[in-house]
Amino acid sequence: MSMVLTRPLSTHTGRRAGFTLFEMLVALFIFAILGTASAQLVRDVLKQQSASDGRGERLAHVQRLMRLVETDVMQASRRPIREAYGDAAPALRINPDGLFELTRMGWRNPLALARGNNQRVAYRFHDGALLRYYWSVLDRDVDSEPVAQTLLSDVEAVEFVALDVSGNEHRIWPLPGDGASDPQLAIAGIRMRLDVEPFGNVERLWEVPPL
């Protein structure tokens, strides 16, 4: 008679595979830290991208402004005008109150309107903005109203100065008295100084055609 030997069953089942509650909590805590750090990193990147985009857009506005002023100055005309109440105004004038005004040539006329190609334009600094005005006529009457364009907002300061052929700066133009007829004091250029965030002081100099 044969006997079959059997191995007695072990009463020790061993440790089951898996995580304990403590290990799960530690893992969740680590994931939470990583998630917070990742979210902060994404926010910082988006913030920097937004600031970069805003700075680029601001720079584009400043560059467009400079091109417009340059076009007006380079096409300056010697044509004086008559103001609303009959007072004569010079072809180009500057005062320290933030006014720069001139007659310019090259006013396009695609609709063939009954007008010349000269145009009167003015730049004024008002309430933190640089404005450009233009009139539909040169010699105005009391009903002549300019069209206003806001070129740049959030401006700290704007200054226009005239440079004579000797390199001297003048915050008022034309010069009063005998200076207006002195050939050594003839106008040679216009300098514009602009204080605007985030770039600080921006300066440009343009040559003025003989007036």
- In tens, the pLDDT along 98-107 reads 789 999 998 8
Q: Which pLDDT value is given to residue 37? A: 79
- In tens, the pLDDT along 166-180 reads 999 999 999 987 666
DSSP output for the chain: ------PPPPS---PPSS--HHHHHHHHHHHHHHHHHHHHHHHHHHHHHHHHHHHHHHHHHHHHHHHHHHHHHHTB----EE-TTS-EE-SEEEETTTEEEEEES----TT--SS-S-EEEEEEEETTEEEEEE-S-SS--TT--PEEEEEESSEEEEEEEEEETTS-EESSBSPPGGGGG-GGG-EEEEEEEEEETTTEEEEEEEEPPP-
Q: Which pLDDT value is given to residue 112? A: 65
Mean pLDDT within 118-135: 94
Name the pLDDT band for 9 (thresholds 50, 70, 90): very low
Q: Which structure tokens are listed for 160?
A: 């226009």
CA nearest 72: which of 130, 5, 11, 140?
A: 130
Mean pLDDT within 91-95: 94
In CATH terms, the superfamily for domain 70-207 is GSPII I/J protein-like (3.10.610.10)
The pTM is what? 0.72
- In tens, the pLDDT along 22-75 reads 777 777 888 788 878 777 777 766 666 655 667 899 999 999 999 999 999 999
Q: Residue 120 above 90 pLDDT?
A: yes
Q: Residue 7 above 80 pLDDT?
A: no
b or e along 92-118 (b: 16 or more beta carbons within 10 Å of the residue's beta carbon)?
A: bbbeeebebbbbbbebeeeeeeeeeeb
Which one is predicted more confidently, 33 or 76? 76
Mean pLDDT within 72-91: 93
Q: Which pLDDT value is given to residue 184? A: 83
Sign, CA dihedral 171-133-59-70, equals negative
